[in-house]
């Protein structure tokens, strides 16, 4: 079975980010000028930089670029599979089913291509083309562990309209530990929240109110005259609606974060209004458990949830998920890696 390669145009080391769970971090791709080799965590060069590109090790092998083609080296730096591929992906574990053993034999294989079009074959650790690509465990594919998002279906409400309190009910919710039901409604094009006793919980003075159920603790997103804020589900305003834009983020640490923009500056708070990144930046985006921060010169750094900061100095930066390293693009346009302390595994 052949696989079509849709990622041939992406730089090789970028393509391995999604396979971080298989990646061996004991040797780090190290760039010296324009050549790549490998260093240990102490930045001591172990494999002399001699390659046009160098990928992370996976299952004892790493793909490297020699001239215009890719091959594989072992951890001693020996080219054990000749550089003859236009695409050379990391080695991973798969299995070949057998008639007398449904689980089959476990094998190491890699996706590779011998042709410029990028049409892939599967090879073994000798570089030999396999007659059939091994099957892989579905749990090894990150996308398969991502929960399916629940799509809300608009409800029809038959609740009696007490003294014309609302024109339309848009949503409802309950609070843990209470039998009370809360309703998000609108009247005269303004939104508010009331409960089943018809008590007004959030006054009808907002341009929009919606409940964020994706957070560990649900909360209300507010918009008043184009400005954003947050309220708890019991109606308490926690973040005043004074921000030009707001993006709610489910953190990998189990916390909910708000990326807020005001007067051209971007900040981060939690839903209780605690400052996470109080210094305003030109832009902030969430990335695998931290935040990419961009300064006024469009240079990027990284803020870790533990309040450690890599100051903006790169054209681009992103965290390699599940690792202690980040990939960067320097101001000279070259690629490289740094650790979470900002130590650079490259020299210009």
Q: Is residue 129 part of a domain?
A: yes
Q: Is residue 163 part of a domain?
A: no
Q: Is residue 179 part of a domain?
A: no
Q: What are the backbone dihedrals phi and psi of residue 141, each rounded to the nearest 5 degrees, phi first?
A: -100, 115
Q: What is the DSSP letter of 15?
A: H
Q: Is residue 166 part of a domain?
A: no
- Can you tell me whether residue 144 is helix, strand or coil? helix
Distance between CA atoms of residues 199 and 303, nearest Å: 43
Question: Are 124 and 225 contained in the same domain?
Answer: no
Cα 345-283-314 angle, rounded to 5 deg: 20
Beta bridge partners of 172: 183
Last residue of a domain, one of 106, 125, 145: 145
Note the residue count of the chain. Answer: 348
Question: Are 141 and 223 contained in the same domain?
Answer: no
Distance between CA atoms of residues 158 and 305, nearest Å: 46
Question: Are 326 and 233 contained in the same domain?
Answer: yes
* pLDDT value for 150: 52
Cα 61-140-97 angle, rounded to 5 deg: 85
Encode the chain (348 residues) as per-residue pLDDT tens digits. Answer: 344 333 332 333 333 334 344 789 999 999 999 999 999 999 999 999 999 999 999 999 999 999 999 999 999 999 999 999 999 999 999 998 877 776 778 899 999 999 999 999 999 999 999 998 998 865 555 554 555 555 556 788 888 888 899 999 999 999 988 899 999 999 999 999 999 999 999 999 999 999 999 999 999 999 999 999 999 999 999 999 999 999 999 998 899 999 999 999 999 999 999 999 999 999 999 998 899 999 999 999 999 987 799 999 999 999 998 788 999 999 999 999 999 999 999 999
Question: Are 141 and 226 contained in the same domain?
Answer: no
Distance between CA atoms of residues 226 and 261, nearest Å: 12
Number of domains in the chain: 2
Q: Is residue 194 part of a domain?
A: no
Q: What are the backbone dihedrals phi and psi of residue 163, each rounded to the nearest 5 degrees, phi first?
A: 55, 35
Last residue of a domain, one of 129, 145, 161: 145
**Encoding tokens for residue 335?**
């690629």
Distance between CA atoms of residues 123 and 134, nearest Å: 10
Distance between CA atoms of residues 223 and 244, nearest Å: 10
- Burial class from Cβ neighbours inside 10 Å (0-12, 13-18, 19+) for residue 264 reads exposed
Domain that holds residue 130: 3-145
Q: Is residue 188 part of a domain?
A: no
Closest of 302, 313, 306, 307 to residue 339, by C-alpha: 302
| Neighbouring residues of 108: CB distance < 8 A, sequence distance ≥ 6 | 59, 61, 91, 92, 93, 94, 124, 125
Q: Is residue 160 part of a domain?
A: no
The answer to whether the Cα torsion of 84, 89, 93, 96 is positive or negative is negative
Q: Is residue 112 part of a domain?
A: yes
Question: Are 9 and 89 contained in the same domain?
Answer: yes
Q: What are the backbone dihedrals phi and psi of residue 302, each rounded to the nearest 5 degrees, phi first?
A: -145, 135
Question: Are 235 and 138 contained in the same domain?
Answer: no
Decide: 56 and 70 in contact? Cβ < 8 Å. Answer: no
Last residue of a domain, one of 145, 179, 205: 145
Question: Are 9 and 108 contained in the same domain?
Answer: yes
Question: Are 226 and 141 contained in the same domain?
Answer: no
């Amino acid at each position: 079975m052949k696989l079509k390669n849709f990622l041939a145009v992406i730089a090789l080391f970028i393509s391995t980010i999604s396979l971080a769970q298989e990646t061996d971090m004991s040797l780090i791709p190290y760039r010296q000028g324009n050549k790549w080799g490998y260093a240990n965590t102490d930045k001591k060069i172990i494999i002399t930089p001699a390659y046009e590109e160098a990928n992370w090790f996976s299952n004892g092998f790493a793909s490297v670029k020699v001239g215009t083609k890719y091959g594989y080296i072992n951890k001693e730096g020996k080219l054990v599979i000749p550089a003859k591929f236009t695409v050379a992906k990391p080695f991973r574990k798969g299995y070949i089913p057998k008639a007398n053993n449904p689980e089959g034999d476990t094998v190491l294989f890699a996706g590779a291509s011998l042709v410029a079009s990028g049409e892939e074959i599967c090879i073994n650790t000798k570089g030999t083309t396999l007659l059939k690509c091994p099957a892989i465990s579905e749990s090894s594919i990150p996308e398969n562990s991502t929960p399916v998002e629940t799509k809300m279906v608009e409800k029809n409400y038959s609740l009696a309209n007490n003294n014309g309190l609302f024109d339309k009910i848009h949503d409802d919710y309950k609070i843990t530990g209470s039998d009370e039901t809360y309703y998000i409604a609108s009247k005269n094009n303004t939104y508010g929240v009331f409960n089943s006793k018809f008590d007004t919980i959030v006054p009808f003075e907002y341009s929009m109110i919606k409940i964020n159920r994706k957070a560990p603790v649900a909360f209300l997103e507010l918009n008043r005259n184009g400005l954003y804020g947050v309220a708890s589900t019991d109606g308490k305003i926690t973040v005043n609606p004074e921000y030009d834009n707001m993006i709610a983020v489910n953190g990998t640490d189990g916390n909910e974060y708000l990326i807020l923009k005001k007067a051209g500056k971007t900040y981060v708070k939690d839903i209780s209004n605690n400052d996470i990144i109080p210094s305003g930046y030109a832009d902030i985006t969430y990335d695998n458990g931290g935040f990419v921060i961009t300064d006024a010169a469009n240079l990027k750094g990284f803020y870790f949830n533990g309040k450690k900061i890599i100051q903006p100095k790169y054209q681009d930066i992103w965290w390699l998920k599940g690792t202690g390293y980040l990939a960067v693009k320097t101001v000279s346009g070259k690629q490289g890696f740094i650790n979470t302390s900002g130590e650079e595994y490259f020299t210009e």
